Amino acid sequence: MASSRVLLCLVLASSVMLAQSLFAGGSSVPVRVLAVTVSSREHQVIRVVPLASNTGVFPGSCTELTVRVAYRRSRWWRTTGTPSTPEQHAEALRLLTSAMLAERPISFGVMGQGLIASADDPCQMRSHGFQVISEPSGPAVFSFLKWP
């Protein structure tokens, strides 16, 4: 009986560590949100300006970033998980809109390959979804493109 409890504790601890490592490696930077345009539940465009020096989230030459989001729920079902549910994506858009309207900074980041640049313009990016993740400084919006 005691050995099964120990095994259960080990499995649970391993699961927690694995879940944390799945989100490891993301980075964020404080931004000012210039615009949030919602065309539909699946298509949005956001424009942000970094408030810190280049941290790897923005291409070095970009003073403004335009992110075109093509959220497709079926896209995530065909891969290995669901990093951003429709509800989580909508929550992230609300948080970005709130930050824009209040003119307050918010952290914006990427997880894994969270954004991909347009072939024509490195400051025009694509994403497949957003998710709000808590950071020590507060909530941050992270972009996901591929999982993992």
* Residue 96: per-residue pLDDT: 97
Letter for the amino acid at 66?
T
* pLDDT tens per residue, range 28-43: 889 999 999 998 888 9
Beta bridge partners of 130: 143
In 3D space, the residue among 121, 124, 131, 7 whose CA is nearest the CA of residue 67 turns out to be 124
Q: Is residue 16 part of a domain?
A: no
Q: Which range of residues forms the domain containing residue 139?
A: 27-144
Dihedrals phi, psi of 90, to nearest 5 degrees = -65, -40
In 3D space, the residue among 93, 95, 134, 108 whose CA is nearest the CA of residue 48 turns out to be 108
Q: Is residue 12 part of a domain?
A: no
The total number of structural domains in the chain stands at 1
Dihedrals phi, psi of 16, to nearest 5 degrees = -65, -45
* pLDDT tens per residue, range 66-117: 999 988 665 544 554 556 788 899 999 999 999 999 999 999 988 877 888 8
Q: Is residue 96 part of a domain?
A: yes
Asked if residue 106 lies in contact with residue 29, where contact means CB atoms within 8 angstroms, the answer is no
- Place 6 in a pLDDT band, splitting at 50, 70 and 90: very low
Q: What is the largest CA-CA distance in the chain?
A: 63
Q: Is residue 133 part of a domain?
A: yes
In 3D space, the residue among 116, 11, 8 whose CA is nearest the CA of residue 68 turns out to be 116
Q: Is residue 48 part of a domain?
A: yes
In 3D space, the residue among 98, 97, 84 whose CA is nearest the CA of residue 132 turns out to be 84
Q: Is residue 19 part of a domain?
A: no
- Place 15 in a pLDDT band, splitting at 50, 70 and 90: very low
